[in-house]
Structure 1
């Protein structure tokens, strides 16, 4: 009788051990499936076309990452971040606002990357004959639209106007006359573009990337000479309050836009490549 009980117990113990082993095998061989990640990117409005294409290609390469894009003027985006807006990446149209974000502790200096450059151009409505050359924007009663000076495009535009004055036979009064003609100042680059396209003014200064695709159907372009032009440098940084599991995804996006493929896309949209001395 005792022998029979011992035999039954041995069988039960054996079955238990086999069951445990099979359970462990199932647990170890079940593939780990990551949940989808939503990556929120706040980007300057002049990046709209390029970043939309970059987003689509990035999501094809990393199908479990969904990118949510929010475009606006750079200062507006920084204000959103300052008010605890939920975001993972901040793409600025200048270095000043990236530095400001670092000072505020919104992004870390070690997490910033310069990734593109841009230039300025003068634009006029397609049917307008008021402004035919650069110097015409200083003529009396000419209506000009610029970006606000606290916006990257506005600061670049004012710097360019100062340089234009030196080109025009050292016409130091040139900038003052142009600024007197300003009828509207906008908070984002795309707003300047839109208002000129619908004829609200005779001319405006925008990024060349915004103007090229819409010329000559919707507007005219008057090129600003290199001696009077300025270079806009775009930077992107990882937000400090980005969750740990998102930081790797954010870095993947940065790596993608500075890769050969990403730079090709930016170049097709008119952006330049950042040089080592910039």
Structure 2
């Protein structure tokens, strides 16, 4: 039997169909795995000093495992470059620099920083130390190709400090934008020696050797971490920064050769 649709019945049928569409979509999401608004993941962008490249990859994996609703995206560079990005309003959530001076200069753009680790300088040489470098004064040797970080880079500033305190004059063949670039020059044989962080030698995995600098001649680098005021995920960013000072993150940092805050 054919039922004639009156205007009222036609309107009711249309309303029923409209209501069924979103219900069908919800059923598809439940079975297909697409998350609803409440289940969306939070992606945090973290600007971090180049010397944290390896350890933060390990730390990031550990954090994501413990916080399944959050993913981390790291951007590594020299601290001075990171500061420039922050000043330009780069969309990021947290910042970790290799010195307190750089972080202090960004007080209008960050939350309250906390130091999460410390580091020391070493002399980096080619594998096997073919130039027989034993101490800082050896960097003055005639014909020795030494590479340093640029003075505006934290490790470059620290390097200048330790050399000046010993009354040494070293003319580098190049000044690099971050500590990993210094290490790379030594690893590739483009320089005989450079000054890097102790943790960089650990990360070099045998491609370069480290000559310790005595404590009374050395400089200690501090790594402060802070949230960024432009973050759209303030609570999640604060949780990550707090986690960096916790036992799990501190063990990861220590295993990579970083010192306690």
When normalised by structure 1's length, the TM-score is 0.78
Gaps of 5+ in 1: 1-30, 166-171
User: Residues 126 and 193 of structure 2 are in contact (CA less than 8 Å); yes or no, is this contact kept in structure 1?
Assistant: yes
Following TM superposition, where does structure 1 have runs of at least 4 consecutive aligned residues deviating by more than 4 angstroms? none
Q: Distance in 1 between matches of 2:95 and 2:204?
A: 27
Corresponding residue for residue 156 of structure 1 = 158
Q: Distance in 1 between matches of 2:181 and 2:213?
A: 20
Which residue among 137, 140, 157 is the counterpart of 1:138? 140
User: Residues 78 and 178 of structure 2 are in contact (CA less than 8 Å); yes or no, is this contact kept in structure 1?
Assistant: yes
Alignment pair present for 1:106 and 2:109: yes
* Rg comparison, structure with higher value: 1
Per-residue deviation, 1:220: 2.1
Alignment pair present for 1:42 and 2:47: yes
Which residue among 223, 242, 247 is the counterpart of 2:234? 247
Structure-to-structure mapping, 1:160-171, within 5 angstroms: 160-163=162-165, 165=166
Alignment pair present for 1:259 and 2:246: yes
User: Residues 115 and 257 of structure 1 are in contact (CA less than 8 Å); yes or no, is this contact kept in structure 2?
Assistant: yes
Q: Distance in 2 between matches of 1:160 and 1:151?
A: 15
Corresponding residue for residue 120 of structure 2 = 119
| CA displacement, residues 15-35 of structure 1 (integer Å, 9 cap, x when unaligned) | xxxxxxxxxxxxxxxx98332
Structure-to-structure mapping, 1:127-276, within 5 angstroms: 127-134=128-135, 135-163=137-165, 165=166, 172=167, 175-176=168-169, 178=170, 180=171, 182-214=172-204, 217-243=206-232, 246-274=233-261
Name which of structure 1's ranges 133-142 and 70-79 shifts more when overlaid on structure 2: 133-142
Compared CA separation, residues 258 and 161, structure 1 to 2 (3 A): same
Q: Distance in 1 between matches of 2:72 and 2:227?
A: 14
CA RMSD of aligned residues (A): 1.5
- Residue 105 of structure 2 aligns to a residue whose secondary structure is helix
Per-residue deviation, 1:241: 1.3
Compared CA separation, residues 183 and 131, structure 1 to 2 (3 A): farther
Gaps of 5+ in 2: 1-35
Q: Distance in 2 between matches of 1:187 and 1:204?
A: 13
Per-residue deviation, 1:106: 1.4
Q: How many residues align?
A: 225
